[in-house]
């Protein structure tokens, strides 16, 4: 009974919360999307991006046009997003995240399975192939292998490199108050895994494509 009553309420709360998050993100960053190598049209896509800040996927989510946004799910660590009731609500009901066990306790192929399932259901994904936030001075950490395994499992999927610019300055590590600064999100040309392409070749190719979207590469 309570469940039947609370479902529409939860949905309403999630919609309001999503609106609030978008307004806040735009107020702080005036974020602008640049669709350099791909158009904002539906498709089976994995948006893979550099990861410097907790707000990274929020920014990508904000610049996606509404129909795309509803069909796009961020991939995130289950340990973080199930820690509290509020995080659980935001992770599951607002962003509809694909939650992945990062502790290494579950079976190793499980994350790829979960992501493949989401793609099969018609969703696109937001993924951070570095696996963790980049707090170093290097522009991009080496990629984990997850991206390759996902590409192998679903070779028909487009991998779209997405460079998030400046958000690490808005929210540096360990700070609570964000500094309003302009941010840009650049979408590059999609890549697919080639027949017989091995792990290192694919990861190098996707990583280079992402680096090519950074402002340093543009100079």
Partner 1 sequence: MIPDLVTLLLWIGVILIVASVVGRVLRMRLSPNGENEGIENLVARIRAWWVMVILIAVAFLAGRTGVVILFALCSFAALREFLTLTNARRADHWSLAGAFFVVIPFQYLMVWAGQYGIYSIYIPVYVFLLMPIISALRGETQGFLVGVAEIQWALMITVFCASHVPALLTLEIEGYEGRGVLLIAFLIVVVQLSDVLQYVWGKLIGKTKIAPRLSPSKTLEGFLGGILSATAIGAMLYWITPFTPVQAAAMAFVITIMGFFGGLVMSAIKRDRGVKDWGHTIEGHGGFIDRLDSVVFSAPIFFHLTRYWWT
If binding is defined by CB under 8 A, does position 214 make contact with partner 1? no
- 217: contact with partner 1 by CB under 8 A: no
Single residue of 12, 41, 182, 189 touching partner 1 by CB under 8 A: 182
State which residue, 107 or 174, has the beta carbon closest to partner 1.
174
Q: Which among 65-73, 124-132, 174-182, 191-199 is the span making contact with partner 1, rule CB under 8 A?
A: 174-182
How many residues bind partner 1 (CB under 8 A)? The answer is 11
Question: Under the criterion CB under 8 A, does residue 172 sit at the interface with partner 1?
Answer: yes
Helix/strand/coil (H, E, C) string of the chain? Answer: CHHHHHHHHHHHHHHHHHHHHHHHHHHHHCCEEEECCCCCCCCCEEEEECCCCCCHHHHHHHHCCHHHHHCEEEEEEHHHHCCCHHHHHHHHHHCCCEEECCCCCCCCCHHHHHHHHHHHCCCEEEECCCCCCCCCCCCCCCCCCHHHHHHHHCCCCEEEEEEEECHHHHCCCCCCCCCCCCCEEEECCCECCCCCCCHHHHHHHHHHHHHCCCHHHHC
Nearest approach in angstroms of CB 219 to partner 1 is 8
Q: Which of 135, 181, 211, 212 forms a contact with partner 1 (CB under 8 A)?
A: 181
- The answer to whether 32 contacts partner 1 (rule: CB under 8 A) is yes
Q: Which listed residue (5, 9, 138, 177) binds partner 1 by CB under 8 A?
A: 177
Residues between 5 and 24 that touch partner 1 (CB under 8 A): none
Please say whether the dihedral angle defined by the alpha carbons of residues 184, 215, 46 and 129, taken in this order, is positive or negative.
Answer: negative
Taking the least distance from each CB to partner 1, the nearer of 142 and 180 is 180
Is 137 near partner 1 (CB under 8 A)? no
The residue ranges that bind partner 1 (CB under 8 A) are 30, 32, 166, 169, 172, 175, 177, 179-182
């Amino acid at each position: 009974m309570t469940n039947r009553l609370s479902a529409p309420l939860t949905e309403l709360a999630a919609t309001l919360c999503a609106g609030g998050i978008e307004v806040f993100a735009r107020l702080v960053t005036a974020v602008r999307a640049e669709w350099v190598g791909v158009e904002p049209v539906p498709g089976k896509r994995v948006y893979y991006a550099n990861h410097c800040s907790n707000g990274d996927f929020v920014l990508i989510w904000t610049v996606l046009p509404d129909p795309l946004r509803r069909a796009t799910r961020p991939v995130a660590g289950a340990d973080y997003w199930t820690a509290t009731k509020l995080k659980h609500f935001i992770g599951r009901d607002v962003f509809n995240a694909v939650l992945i066990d990062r502790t290494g306790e579950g079976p190793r192929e499980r994350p790829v399975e979960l992501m493949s399932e989401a793609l099969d259901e018609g969703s696109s994904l937001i993924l951070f192939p570095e696996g963790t936030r980049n707090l170093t001075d290097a522009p991009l950490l080496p990629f984990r292998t997850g991206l390759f395994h996902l590409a192998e499992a679903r070779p028909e999927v487009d991998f779209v490199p997405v460079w998030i610019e400046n958000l690490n300055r808005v929210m540096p590590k360990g700070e609570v108050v964000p500094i309003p600064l302009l941010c840009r999100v650049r979408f590059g040309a999609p890549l697919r895994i080639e027949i017989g392409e091995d792990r290192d070749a694919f990861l190098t190719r996707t990583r280079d494509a992402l680096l090519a979207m950074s402002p340093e590469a543009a100079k």
